[in-house]
Amino acid sequence: MEHGDEHHRSTPLSHEKLAMWAFLGSECLLFGGLISTYMLYKNKLPEGTAISPGELFDIPFTSVTTFVLLMSSLTMVLSVSSITRGDLRRNRVWLLTTALLGAVFIGGQVYEFTAFYNEGAGFTTNLWSSAFFTLTGFHGVHVSIGIVMLMSLFIGNLTGRITKASAEKVEIIGLYWHFVDIVWIVIFTIVYLFPQ
Amino acid sequence: MAIVEDTPRELTTGQPAVAERPLGVLTRPTSTEGWKSWLTTVDHKRIGILYGAAAIFFFVVGGIEALLIRLQLARPGATVLGADLYNQVFTMHGVTMIFLVAMPLGAAFANYLIPLQIGTRDVAFPRLNAFSFWCFLAGAIFINTSWFLGGAPDGGWFAYAPNTGVLFSPSNGMDFFAIGLQITGIASLLSAINLIVTVVNLRAPGMTWFRMPVFTWMMLVVQVLLLFAIPVITLALFLLMFDRLWGANFFNVEAGADPLLWEHLFWIFGHPEVYILILPAFGAVSEIIPVFSRKPIFGYKFMIFSGIAIGFMGWGVWAHHMFASGIGPISVAAFSVSTMFIAVPTGVKILNWMATMWGGRLRFTTPMLFAVGLVSMFTIGGLSGVTHSVAPADTQQTDTYYIVAHFHYVVFGGVILGLFGGMYFWWPKVFGYALDDRAGKWNFWLMLIGFNVTFGPMHLLGLQGMSRRIQTYSSGQGFDLWNMVATIGSFMIALSVLVFVGNILQSYRTRNRRPPVGPDPWDGRSLEWATASPTPVHNFDYVPVVESLDDFWHRKWGEDEDGNIVRLATAEQIAQTGERRDVHLPSPSYWPLVVAIGLPIIGYGLIFNYWLCMVGGAIVLGGVYAWIMEPTDDPDAAHGPDGHDDHHDGDGDGNGATTDESEAEELEAPVG
């Protein structure tokens, strides 16, 4: 038999990037299921419930944290662009900024959860509250994992493990980060903006 | 990590390098022999064997559970198992056979064969592949420890909530179910991503989409189904877990929850799952039948597209499991029609297998017998399946033994027969010796007859109205005879499995006394037969170049002017010998195992004591970071500047790196 090239690869994409795309496809169904469950239960408040989602939500506050999260996508793009150019210093700055913006979003979520809980809507209170905390909580966990990965990249950059050659790693984690942001746009619209 | 290796090393063995270096935390293990090397292996072939061994072990466990069920039901009013224990046993029988036998057995074949059939050295992410296996095993053991920790799951493998809520299932069993299946789900999801990337990106030169063997195609469809089905069941299991552990309300009907939510989520996963189970067997049979008919598969592209069609339509039929649940006439009608439609691509496959055999030079070896067994038995199961798609009939059949008969005809008659055939077929390739054909035929006939004696009468029992999942029945309802017959049949199946195990032992003992199998014992068609048996650790000496479908066969056989088949070469002449010793292979790793051990500890923690979660979480987190930080390969291999150190598992084995330096690495590497 003839001998093929040892380093043959069937598509121009790297394994890692393909894997991340496949994983994100899978995540679509996870969030799809969560959002469907929320939609099923969002109007099922028991008779005489004292608290309604419409009264709990502080739309201006959540809009601000949403804006912060969306801006983190911009800084993520900037960090990918800087590492592609080999600008490690700027890459550090933008990675840290992205992680911080994500942390601000999480902080806002923690504040919001606490406020809701204090107003009497805990995880176990009713159908709506279980579905709400589960959906937004799952998203919050995804953002937090993203922050951990961004900080790992940041530390990798400081210790010299992340260089221009590893630009694709930053890009792949960026894919994850943008995906999580897009999911939040859907969640924000459906949970907060749709009339209750 | 610019470790420069100055002294050139001798290139002597095909094994990963044995680096003389003290084992630090982040060095990679080096042994490739002995039992310890199985714990750290990242070789797709060894991982495939591990999957297969685990699946056969759990097949015996699930089989014993089945025998207990049959003993209890053999006679009216029997007291072998109490009602509570019966619930646990039938639940664990289903959970074991589906999640711990059929799925890993499919994964065993996928892992072993996909890289060989597409002509590559390993999967895209070898360490992730090892993790998938250990993660599966950790989840499987976790679920089974529930037997000793307060009782096994008792709500059926479908786990209908709210019936599986704390109120109706107060033991920890369903918690073990929910958490354990999440752990095995992680394994399936990562394995699916890994194998999809492998097939998309690592096909040998010339191996275009429509030159891939049908088996690889079917496995690709399975991985895509897993990719999209696993998150749905994961979500459902999370909701159930939140309800049970922390008092959420998702299935709390008192608070207004919709009792159909679980059913929908479960079956949106559950119906693709059915195809996840059967398509590997379809793939195996599609390899076996052409070889023993000495004809190419009939309608190759039809086979591929019908497999893809099954994969798509599998998402649109889930509610046929819910005809009796009150989903409304429109839904029932729609799902009824879509269910009838999905029989079409399956029928295409059945007809294509028969057309492949038609006019072929048939050799009824053991694998061929199992393959023909699948075609005939699955057809019976498929036909009874079509009777379920007729909703009015289905409302009569729901929850009777007719359903039990149907799904055993497709799952046992399909998955088990097909994959047993696959085991007989590929055994020489995997282990270098063949299983005995005479014992194999005993195995087949005992299994086939036992299977029909067991599950055939269940059609009658079901139509007579015997309810499934009941622990016992009273005499005088006409159930006595056929239940006794079914029990006798189940022991025949058990006997056939004993013959199988005995065959393995006997064939292993006499392996040196029989003629060597050579690279190609069956006159095979696909690339796995184009290398030595057992497969050398590096798979292929040289990456093959593929020119047509069934490329290997066309190199052995051609046509003369009169259209007669003439031999061009023997398999021994053209198959690779596996003697090359300078192939750079990925090094083993401890961390997949470590991370996998952390997961069930988190699971126990969630059930018993949250402090354990901290321990498990620390193990997982530490393991993941150690995984990322450990050198790509053995520490002494010169790997140029950093940059492709963590994720690039496949770096050295000829697929990850694209830069020029990778060529240099290959030469410098001490691996031999």
Whether residue B16 has pLDDT greater than 80: no
Q: Do B544 and A2 lie within an 8 Å CB cutoff?
A: yes
Residues B158, B162, B168, B169, CA torsion sign? positive
Q: Rounded to an integer, what distance in angstroms lies between the CA atom of residue B69 and that of residue B117?
A: 40
Dihedral-angle region of residue B473 (phi above 0 means left; psi in -120 to 50 means alpha; beta otherwise) = beta
Q: Which CATH superfamily is domain B282-459+488-514 in?
A: Cytochrome c oxidase-like, subunit I domain (1.20.210.10)
Question: Which residue has better confidence, B67 or B256?
Answer: B67
Q: List Cβ neighbours of B665 (8 Å cut-off, separation of 6 or more).
A: B584, B637, B638, B639, B640, B652, B657
Q: Do A152 and B265 lie within an 8 Å CB cutoff?
A: no
Q: Where are the domains of chain B?
A: 282-459+488-514
> Mean pLDDT over residues B71-77, rounded?
96
Question: Given this model, what pLDDT does residue B633 score?
Answer: 61
Over pLDDT 70: what percentage of chain B?
Answer: 90
Which of these ranges, A20-24, B3-7, B83-87, B554-558, has the smallest mean pLDDT?
B3-7
Question: Given this model, what pLDDT does residue A7 score?
Answer: 66
In this predicted model, what pLDDT tens digit does every residue of B290-301 receive, in sequence order? 999 999 999 999
Whether residue B11 has pLDDT greater than 60: no
Question: Given this model, what pLDDT does residue B398 score?
Answer: 93
Bridge partner residues of B544 (DSSP): A3
> Mean pLDDT over residues B131-148, rounded?
97
Interchain contact B47–A (C-beta under 8 A): no
Residue B37, helix vs strand vs coil:
helix
Domain CATH number, residue A118 = 1.20.120.80
* Position A2 confidence tier, pLDDT thresholds 50, 70, 90: low
* Position A79 confidence tier, pLDDT thresholds 50, 70, 90: very high
Q: How far is CA B250 from the centre of its chain?
A: 32
- Is the backbone peptide bond immediately before B544 cis, with ω within 30 degrees of 0? no
Instruction: Name every chain A residue with its beta carbon within 8 A of the beta carbon of B543.
Output: 3-6, 8
Whether residue A41 has pLDDT greater than 70: yes
* Position B19 confidence tier, pLDDT thresholds 50, 70, 90: very low
Q: Rounded to an integer, what distance in angstroms lies between the CA atom of residue A143 and that of residue A145?
A: 5
Average pLDDT taken over every residue of chain B: 89
> Mean pLDDT over residues B102-116, rounded?
97
Is A78 a domain residue? yes
Q: Do B543 and A30 lie within an 8 Å CB cutoff?
A: no
Q: Rounded to an integer, what distance in angstroms lies between the CA atom of residue B383 and that of residue B388?
A: 9
> Mean pLDDT over residues B336-343, rounded?
93
DSSP state of B47: H
Question: Given this model, what pLDDT does residue B563 score?
Answer: 83
Interchain contact B626–A (C-beta under 8 A): no
Question: Given this model, what pLDDT does residue A43 score?
Answer: 82
Angle among Cα B433, B435, B441 to the nearest 5 degrees reads: 160
Q: Rounded to an integer, what distance in angstroms lies between the CA atom of residue B21 and that of residue B30?
A: 10
Q: List Cβ neighbours of B237 (8 Å cut-off, separation of 6 or more).
A: B177, B178, B179, B181, B182, B185
Q: Do B232 and A29 lie within an 8 Å CB cutoff?
A: yes
Extract the tokens encoding B442: 């005993």
Which of these ranges, A47-61, A102-116, A172-186, B544-558, has the smallest mean pLDDT?
A47-61
Whether residue A18 has pLDDT greater than 90: yes
The nearest CA of chain B is from the CA of A16 a distance in Å of 7
Nearest in space to B654 (alpha carbons), one of B633, B624, B631: B633
The nearest CA of chain B is from the CA of A105 a distance in Å of 23
Q: Do B250 and A37 lie within an 8 Å CB cutoff?
A: yes
Q: Do B543 and A3 lie within an 8 Å CB cutoff?
A: yes
Is A47 a domain residue? no
Q: Which chain A residue shows the shortest CA-CA distance from B644?
A: A166
The nearest CA of chain A is from the CA of B561 a distance in Å of 24
Unique residue bearing structure tokens 């260089």: A163
Among A29, A30, A165, beta carbon nearest to B641 = A165
Nearest in space to B585 (alpha carbons), one of B654, B659, B668: B654
> Mean pLDDT over residues B76-89, rounded?
95
Instruction: Name every chain B residue with its beta carbon within 8 A of the beta carbon of A161.
Output: 642, 645
Unique residue bearing structure tokens 């003439």: B566
Whether residue B621 has pLDDT greater than 90: yes
Q: Rounded to an integer, what distance in angstroms lies between the CA atom of residue B453 and that of residue B372?
A: 18
> Mean pLDDT over residues B527-541, rounded?
93
Q: Rounded to an integer, what distance in angstroms lies between the CA atom of residue B293 and that of residue B301?
A: 19
Give yes or no for a contact between B382 and B244, defined as CB atoms under 8 angstroms apart. no
Question: Given this model, what pLDDT does residue B36 score?
Answer: 87
- Element spanning B289, H or E: helix B260-293
Q: Which chain A residue shows the shortest CA-CA distance from B190?
A: A23
Unique residue bearing structure tokens 């029928």: B347
* Position B1 confidence tier, pLDDT thresholds 50, 70, 90: very low
First and final CA of chain A: distance in angstroms?
68
Instruction: Name every chain A residue with its beta carbon within 8 A of the beta carbon of B650.
Output: 15
* Position B35 confidence tier, pLDDT thresholds 50, 70, 90: confident
Q: Which chain B residue shows the shortest CA-CA distance from A131?
A: B250
Q: List Cβ neighbours of B120 (8 Å cut-off, separation of 6 or more).
A: B198, B202, B203, B204, B539, B543, B654, B655
Taking residue B612's Cβ as centre, other Cβ atoms within 10 Å add up to: 17
In chain A, the number of structural domains is 1
Q: Do B647 and A3 lie within an 8 Å CB cutoff?
A: no
Q: Do B193 and A26 lie within an 8 Å CB cutoff?
A: yes
Is A109 a domain residue? yes
Q: Do B643 and A127 lie within an 8 Å CB cutoff?
A: no
> Mean pLDDT over residues B233-262, rounded?
94
H helical segments located in chain A: 15-41, 53-56, 59-85, 88-118, 127-158, 167-187
Taking residue B135's Cβ as centre, other Cβ atoms within 10 Å add up to: 27
Bridge partner residues of A170 (DSSP): none
Q: Do A10 and B648 lie within an 8 Å CB cutoff?
A: no
Interface test with A, best of B547, B647, B653, B663 (most A CBs within 10 A): B647
* Position B456 confidence tier, pLDDT thresholds 50, 70, 90: very high
Give yes or no for a contact between B642 and B2, defined as CB atoms under 8 angstroms apart. yes
Give yes or no for a contact between B284 and B117, defined as CB atoms under 8 angstroms apart. no
Among A18, A129, A160, beta carbon nearest to B197 = A18
> Mean pLDDT over residues A117-125, rounded?
91
Residues of B numbered 178-217 whose beta carbons fall under 8 angstroms of chain A's beta carbons: which are they?
Answer: 189, 192-194, 196-197, 200-207
* Position B22 confidence tier, pLDDT thresholds 50, 70, 90: very low
Is A120 a domain residue? yes
H helical segments located in B74-213: 83-95, 103-117, 126-145, 173-201
Question: Given this model, what pLDDT does residue B153 score?
Answer: 96
Question: Which residue has better confidence, A55 or B276?
Answer: B276
In this predicted model, what pLDDT tens digit does every residue of B187-198 receive, in sequence order? 999 999 999 999
Is A114 a domain residue? yes
In this predicted model, what pLDDT tens digit does every residue of B344-394 receive, in sequence order? 999 999 999 999 999 999 999 999 999 999 999 999 999 999 999 999 999
Whether residue B650 has pLDDT greater than 50: no
Whether residue B504 has pLDDT greater than 90: yes
DSSP state of B559: E
Question: Given this model, what pLDDT does residue B136 score?
Answer: 98
* Position B30 confidence tier, pLDDT thresholds 50, 70, 90: confident
Interchain contact B231–A (C-beta under 8 A): yes
Whether residue B431 has pLDDT greater than 90: yes
Question: Which residue has better confidence, A151 or B580?
Answer: A151
Question: Given this model, what pLDDT does residue B663 score?
Answer: 36
Q: Do A40 and B258 lie within an 8 Å CB cutoff?
A: yes
The residue type found at B663 is E
Whether residue B656 has pLDDT greater than 70: no
Q: Do B235 and A33 lie within an 8 Å CB cutoff?
A: yes
Residue A18, helix vs strand vs coil:
helix
Q: Do B544 and A4 lie within an 8 Å CB cutoff?
A: yes
* Residue B359 burial (10 A CB sphere; 0-12, 13-18, 19+): exposed
Extract the tokens encoding A148: 């951990």
> Mean pLDDT over residues A46-56, rounded?
74
Q: Do B204 and A4 lie within an 8 Å CB cutoff?
A: yes
Q: How many CA atoms lie within 13 A of B436 on its CB side?
A: 20
Q: How many CA atoms lie within 13 A of B298 on its CB side?
A: 15
Question: Given this model, what pLDDT does residue B637 score?
Answer: 45
Q: Rounded to an integer, what distance in angstroms lies between the CA atom of residue A27 and that of residue B230?
A: 10
Residues of B numbered 241-260 whose beta carbons fall under 8 angstroms of chain A's beta carbons: which are they?
Answer: 242, 246-250, 252, 255-258
> Mean pLDDT over residues B645-657, rounded?
38
Is A48 a domain residue? no
In this predicted model, what pLDDT tens digit does every residue of B271-284 receive, in sequence order? 999 999 999 999 99
The nearest CA of chain B is from the CA of A67 a distance in Å of 28
Taking residue B35's Cβ as centre, other Cβ atoms within 10 Å add up to: 7
Interface test with A, best of B122, B129, B201, B632 (most A CBs within 10 A): B201
Residue A182's domain comprises 15-41+60-193
Extract the tokens encoding A51: 């608290």
Whether residue B20 has pLDDT greater than 60: no
Is A2 a domain residue? no
Residues of B numbered 561-620 whose beta carbons fall under 8 angstroms of chain A's beta carbons: which are they?
Answer: 574, 576
Instruction: Name every chain A residue with its beta carbon within 8 A of the beta carbon of B189.
Output: 23, 26
Q: How far is CA B258 from the centre of its chain?
A: 34
Q: Which chain A residue shows the shortest CA-CA distance from B192?
A: A22
Question: Given this model, what pLDDT does residue B13 score?
Answer: 46
